[in-house]
């Protein structure tokens, strides 16, 4: 296991995800200081998603041609400078500009770092390596947001942004030293022998890869709806105060982290990664169905939340490992597209979830999430080698 790049990328993933999510406890304070409305401050999340998705694709494509180290070192610098500058802004539009530049750094970092980790990891350990990197996102839910809220009570939201800038700078240092030794593209994953033309993105976007992306959108919509609306659902269903939802959210985050790490083990030890994804995502959908539509008690509802987070994360790592199996010369753009398409899922989750809540309430969430989970499973099962082996036998 290439622990140097894995740990540095995990830390970078934590810093990138935290740059947006830790803003949530300070929406009212930011709206007051920047003389903006609360919806305008909340819209910074949508602006960030768009910039993040575009940057991830462009950086991934360029990294395949120009090399990845310049992005792995430069992107955290851009993120760090943007977060530090955001601590001193006094107008809303200045904050919008800095959110965009920070998101460009985040997008350039996440997809490229996953491509680099997958390239440096032996195939037998690739799923576990990606699982560790992806756990940086989960740690933001478990540690980042509560820690930011605690620090914010002392130093305010501006001080928290200085802390984020320091995190990004630390990630840059780690990635700088972890990537000093260049790794050549592995022959086993290249498109062919040296006398063949290099593979292009069009060649890489085969039917199976496109179907993996479609399944990714469905999965991200489900997870996005749960992440966005779970706290509001708890407060509505059980009339809880803000502080009372902390423990269920911690359970949700722990389920996500454990599922991510075990998903890496599953991806490496079980040959049929698409089957692993399909089984786990369907179980996640079965957990979601009663989760939002049945209120037998806070403890049982929280248990459904933990189960959904666990099985959804268990499913996602084999999906990422399947995407990382493309030839090395296009792995950067494919992993960049992964982040771009995931952003589409997040935006869809926010939009559709709000529309469903306004029209039917939280009861409609469960059936939709189950339907999307089943759909994503059916999409990828068409391409599993298990069926092809059965037919040839």
DSSP state of 195: T
Q: Categorize the per-residue pLDDT at 392 as very low, low, confident or very high, splitting at 50, 70 and 90.
A: very low
343 close to 53: Cβ distance less than 8 angstroms? yes
pLDDT of 12 > 50? The answer is yes
pTM: 0.75
**Distance of alpha carbon 225 from alpha carbon 291, whole angstroms:** 12
Q: Say if CB 259 and CB 284 are below 8 A apart.
A: no
Domains of the chain, CATH where assigned: 3-174 (1.20.1250.20), 201-382 (1.20.1250.20)
Element (H, E) at 299: helix 298-323
Q: What is the per-residue pLDDT for 64?
A: 75
Average pLDDT over residues 14-30: 77
Averaged pLDDT score across all residues of the chain: 82
Of 13, 107, 102, whose CA–CA distance to 59 is shortest? 107
Give the mean model confidence (pLDDT) for residues 176-201. 59
pLDDT band at 192 (very low <50, low <70, confident <90, very high): very low
**Secondary structure (3-state) at 281:** helix
Chain center to CA of 318: 14
Q: Does pLDDT of 372 surpass 90?
A: yes
> For residue 78, what pLDDT is reported?
94
Residue 332 and residue 319: Cα distance in Å, rounded? 16
- Band (pLDDT 50/70/90 cuts) for residue 307 is very high
Residues 9-15 have a mean pLDDT of 86
pLDDT band at 366 (very low <50, low <70, confident <90, very high): very high
DSSP 235: H
What is the mean predicted confidence (pLDDT) over 263-280? 86
Task: Name residues whose C-beta falls within 8 Å of residue 266's C-beta, 6 or more positions apart in sequence.
Answer: 127, 276, 280, 314, 317, 318
| Digit-coded pLDDT (tens) for 208-265 | 888 988 999 999 899 888 877 887 788 788 887 766 777 888 888 889 889 988 888 8
């Amino acid at each position: 296991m290439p622990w140097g790049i894995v740990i540095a990328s995990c830390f970078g993933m934590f810093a990138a995800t935290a740059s947006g999510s830790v803003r949530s406890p300070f929406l009212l304070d930011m709206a007051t200081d920047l003389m903006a409305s609360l919806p305008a401050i909340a819209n910074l999340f949508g602006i960030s998603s768009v910039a993040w998705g575009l940057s991830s694709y462009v950086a991934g494509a360029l990294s395949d041609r120009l090399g990845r180290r310049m992005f792995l070192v430069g992107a955290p610098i851009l993120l760090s400078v943007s977060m530090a500058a955001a601590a001193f802004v006094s107008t809303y539009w200045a904050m919008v500009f800095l959110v965009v530049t920070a998101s460009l750094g985040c997008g350039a970092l996440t997809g490229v770092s996953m491509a680099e980790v997958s390239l440096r990891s032996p195939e037998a350990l690739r799923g576990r390596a990606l699982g560790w990197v992806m756990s940086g996102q989960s740690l933001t839910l478990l540690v980042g947001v509560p820690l930011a809220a605690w620090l914010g009570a002392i130093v305010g939201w501006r001080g928290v942004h200085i802390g984020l800038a320091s995190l990004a700078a630390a990630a840059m240092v780690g990635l700088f030293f972890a990537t000093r030794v260049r790794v050549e593209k592995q022959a086993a994953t290249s498109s062919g022998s040296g006398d063949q033309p290099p593979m292009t993105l069009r060649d890489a976007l085969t039917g199976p890869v496109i179907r993996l992306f479609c399944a990714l959108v469905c999965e991200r919509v489900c997870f996005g709806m749960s992440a966005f609306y779970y706290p509001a659902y708890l407060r509505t269903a059980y009339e809880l105060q803000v502080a009372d939802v902390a423990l269920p959210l911690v359970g949700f985050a722990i389920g996500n982290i454990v599922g991510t790490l075990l998903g890496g083990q599953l991806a490496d030890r079980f040959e049929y990664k698409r089957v692993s994804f399909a089984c786990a995502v369907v179980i996640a959908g079965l957990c979601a169905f009663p989760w939002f539509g049945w209120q037998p008690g806070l403890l049982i509802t929280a248990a459904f939340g933990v189960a959904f987070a666990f099985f959804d994360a268990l499913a996602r790592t084999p999906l990422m490992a399947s995407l990382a199996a493309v030839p090395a010369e296009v792995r950067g753009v494919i992993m960049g597209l992964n982040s771009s398409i995931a952003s589409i899922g997040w935006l869809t989750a926010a939009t559709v979830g709000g529309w469903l809540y306004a029209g039917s309430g939280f009861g409609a969430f469960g059936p939709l999430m189950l339907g999307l989970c089943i759909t994503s499973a059916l999409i990828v099962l068409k391409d599993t080698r298990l069926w092809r082996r059965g037919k040839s036998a």
